[in-house]
Chains A and B, each alone.
Chain A
Amino acid sequence: MFVISLVLTIVVCTLLSIRTKHLLFAALWLATSNAAVAAFLYALGAHEIAVIELSVGTGLVPVLFVFAVSMMGHLSSVPTTSVSRPLAYSLVGICALLILFSVPSLVSTSPPAFTIGSFSHVLWEDRGLEMLLQIVLIFAGVISILNLLSASRRPAVVRTREDTSAVGDDQREFQREAV
């Protein structure tokens, strides 16, 4: 019963985060959905990843969304579509069928012949090189974000056709006055 309620919470919160107009509310629904996913992972027995998911998905990511939305002002998204809804529904249905048809082959996989150590052994020794690459990736991400945010301090001017024609008129008037 607890697991069923968790799955229902995940589905409802993700739907609300997609459907709501206000971006702040969308971030809060996403945080609730991530918390439910973390609890579901814990119920499945994946305790370590549940803790990581709870701290990152419910702690860090919503704070980032709220920070970005507050920098842009309180925006609300207009409910418009870029792809027609029947096409989107049919593509999502095809993907769901593909996942469901691939499950029996996944379950019938035979267990591995070799034994695998604990989570920390797998993470820090078997996949040590990948962990180093992830640390490099984190530093690259931080540096790129700092570059992006520091570039935004310079005033950016978008010149449209009206702006350029106005600039041209001003220049012509200035030349006329100079003559």
Chain B
Amino acid sequence: MTLTPFDLGIVAVVALIGIGLYGLMVLRNLVKMIIALQIAAKGAVLALILAGIASNQLNLAQSLAATVILVDTLVAVIGLALAVQLHRTYGTIDLKMLVSRREQPLERPG
């Protein structure tokens, strides 16, 4: 049994999307979550290209993959800017600590 590049591509897609989903579920650090999102998006790009090869529409798949890369980069940039802002405001980027600090009730002085 010989593995073609297409078969190996399927293995890479499953690995990338699986690791990305696992990271999104398990991690609590915002920057690490954005990294996990990037990994899952790379799996989606690879899946698009493989679908283009399988259906003999590689150029269309490449143009769609360019859109996915652009949107993924924008999501990462905005997520990182939000993480920087949250770190300046609350001093942490840990999701659980952020939620606990948001839920602390404020009392009226006096």
Contact = CB atoms under 8 A, between A and B. Distances in A.
Interface of A: 3-4, 7, 10-11, 14-15, 17-18, 23, 26-27, 30, 33-34, 37, 40-41, 43-46, 48-49, 52-53, 56-57, 60-61, 64-65, 67-69, 71-72, 75, 77-78, 80-83, 85, 87-89, 91-92, 95-96, 99-100, 103, 106-107, 109, 111-112, 116-119, 121-123, 126-127, 130, 134, 137-138, 141, 144-145, 148-149, 151-152, 156, 158-161, 164-165, 167-168, 171-172
18 contacts: A18-B36, A23-B32, A41-B45, A44-B9, A46-B52, A46-B61, A49-B62, A60-B73, A68-B31, A75-B31, A80-B96, A81-B27, A82-B26, A91-B21, A134-B67, A148-B82, A160-B101, A161-B104
B19 A18 contact: yes
Contact of A100 (B5, B10, B16): B10
Contacts of A65: 31, 34-35, 76, 80
A161 B59 CA distance: 58
A145 B32 contact: no
Contacts, number: 248
Contact of B55 (A17, A44, A109): A109
Contact of A158 (B50, B84, B101): B101
A92 B20 CA distance: 9
Interface of B: 3, 5-6, 8-23, 25-29, 31-32, 34-36, 38-39, 42, 45-47, 49-63, 65-67, 69-71, 73-74, 76-78, 80-85, 87-90, 93-96, 101, 104-110
Question: Chain B: interface secondary structure?
Answer: helix
B54 A106 contact: yes
Contacts of B34: 65
A48 B1 CA distance: 31
A139 to B, nearest CB: 11
